[in-house]
C-alpha cells in the first residue's frame, strides 16, 4: 500500500504541492491526472525518494520513507520499477543491454540476465529476438514497451510507476501501452501509479484518480465519480470529453475516450 498524507513540497517560495493525500491499495492502479505544471511528476520523484517533502508523510506498506536512512530507502526503491517519460532508453545500448542494465550493475550472471531479458520482452508482448536490436530500429510504441520491460526486469518490483507513458505516441501505440498497463496489473497484481495529462488513459486504467490543479487535489475518487463530479475546474478540464465520459460512467464504453465522444 502507498499512502500520501498531507504532503506539501516547495522550492524556495514556489509551492509545487499543497496538502496532497491519497491511498493506493495493493494491486490497484492510481492515476495522477492534471494539466501540465500541476505537480504530477513531482509525486513520482517524492515517492522514489529523489526529493523529500517539505511536510507530510509518504508511506510504503506502513513505513514512512521520509524518516528512514538512505540505506533503507535504497532497499525500498529496489521494489519500484519506473517507466520514464519518453522511455529514456540508452541510444548506444542494445535492447537487451537496456533491459538488463540494473542486473549488470548488480553483477548478475550474463546467462541469467539474458534469460530474464527474454522473459521481460515476452511479458510486454515483444519478440525476445529483439534483444540485439538498437532502440532506433524500433517504433516509438515498441521503445516504450522496452522501457516497461526494463522496469519489470530490474528487480521484479512489486510497484510500477509510469510517468506519462503514452506521451508522443500515435493513438494505436498508446492503446497498446494502456492495454499492457492493465494486463500487467491484472496478471501480476502489481501496485501501480500512473502520472498523465491524458483523460482517456486515466479513465481506462485507473482504479482511482487524483486530479491536481496547481499542486492542490481538486478531486480524488473512482472514474465513475469523476465523471459525475461538478466543479468549475473539473467541468472545464473534462469539457472536450464529456460525451465519452458520460458513456464511461454508464459502463458501456469500450476502448479509449476521445474528444467529441467517439470511442
User: Tens digit of pLDDT for each residue in 54-70?
Assistant: 999 999 999 999 999 99
What's the whole-number average pLDDT of the chain?
87
Judged by phi (left if over 0) then psi (alpha if -120 to 50, else beta), residue 107 lies in: left
Which pLDDT tens digit goes with each residue over 143-158? 999 999 998 887 778 9
Locus of grid cell 516509438: 140
Q: Is 34 helix (H, G, I), strand (E, B) or coil?
A: coil
User: CATH number for the domain including 176?
Assistant: 3.40.50.300
Is residue 240 in some structural domain?
no
Give dist(CA 127, CA 37) in Å, integer.
37
Average pLDDT of the segment spanning 86-106: 84
Is residue 194 in some structural domain?
yes
Is residue 1 in some structural domain?
no
Contact between 8 and 54 under an 8 Å Cβ cutoff? The reply is yes
Is residue 12 in some structural domain?
no
Contact between 186 and 154 under an 8 Å Cβ cutoff? The reply is no
* pLDDT grade for 260, boundaries at 50, 70 and 90: very low
Is residue 97 in some structural domain?
yes
Lowest mean pLDDT among 33-42, 76-85, 89-98, 242-251: 242-251
Q: Report the predicted TM-score, pTM, of the whole model to 2 decimal places.
A: 0.85
- pLDDT (0 to 100) of residue 255: 46
**Burial letters for 242-256: b for 16+ Cβ neighbours within 10 Å, e otherwise?**
eebbebbbeeebeeb
DSSP β-ladder status, 208-213 and 216-221:
antiparallel
Domain limits for position 41? 24-55+69-222
Contact between 234 and 218 under an 8 Å Cβ cutoff? The reply is yes
**Phi and psi for 16 in degrees, rounded to 5?**
-95, -45
Is residue 233 in some structural domain?
no
Average pLDDT of the segment spanning 213-229: 92
Q: How many domains does the chain have?
A: 1
The number of residues in the chain equals 263
**Burial letters for 189-221: b for 16+ Cβ neighbours within 10 Å, e otherwise?**
ebbbbbbbbbbbbbbbbbebbbbbbebbbbbbb
Is residue 232 in some structural domain?
no
Is residue 204 in some structural domain?
yes
Q: Is 179 helix (H, G, I), strand (E, B) or coil?
A: helix
Measure the CA dihedral 21/30/82/254, to 10°: -160
Amino acid at each position: 500500500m502507498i499512502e500520501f498524507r498531507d504532503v506539501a513540497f516547495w522550492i524556495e517560495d514556489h509551492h509545487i504541492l499543497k496538502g496532497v493525500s491519497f491511498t493506493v491499495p495493493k494491486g490497484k492502479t492510481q492515476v495522477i491526472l492534471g494539466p501540465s505544471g500541476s505537480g504530477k511528476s513531482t509525486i513520482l520523484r517524492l515517492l522514489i525518494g529523489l526529493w523529500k517533502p517539505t511536510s507530510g508523510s509518504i508511506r510504503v506498506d506502513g513505513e514512512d520513507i521520509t524518516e528512514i536512512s538512505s540505506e533503507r530507502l535504497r532497499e525500498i526503491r529496489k521494489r519500484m520499477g519506473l517507466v520514464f517519460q519518453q522511455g529514456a532508453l540508452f541510444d548506444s545500448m542494445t535492447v537487451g543491454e537496456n533491459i538488463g542494465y540494473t542486473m549488470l550493475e548488480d553483477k548478475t550472471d550474463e546467462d541469467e540476465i539474458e534469460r530474464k531479458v527474454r522473459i521481460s520482452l515476452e511479458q510486454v508482448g515483444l519478440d525476445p529476438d529483439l534483444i540485439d536490436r538498437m532502440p532506433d530500429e524500433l517504433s516509438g510504441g515498441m521503445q516504450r514497451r522496452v522501457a516497461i520491460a526494463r522496469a519489470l526486469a530490474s528487480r521484479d518490483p512489486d510497484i510500477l510507476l509510469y510517468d506519462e507513458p503514452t506521451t508522443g505516441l500515435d493513438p494505436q501505440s498508446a492503446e497498446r501501452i494502456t492495454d499492457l498497463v492493465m494486463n500487467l496489473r491484472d496478471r501480476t497484481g502489481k501496485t501501480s501509479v500512473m502520472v498523465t495529462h491524458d483523460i482517456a488513459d486515466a479513465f481506462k486504467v485507473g482504479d482511482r484518480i487524483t486530479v491536481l490543479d496547481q499542486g492542490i487535489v481538486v478531486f480524488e475518487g473512482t472514474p465513475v465519480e469523476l465523471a459525475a463530479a461538478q466543479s468549475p475546474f473539473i467541468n472545464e478540464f473534462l469539457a472536450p470529453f464529456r460525451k465519452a465520459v458520460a458513456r464511461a460512467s454508464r459502463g458501456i464504453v469500450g476502448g479509449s475516450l476521445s474528444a467529441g465522444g467517439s470511442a
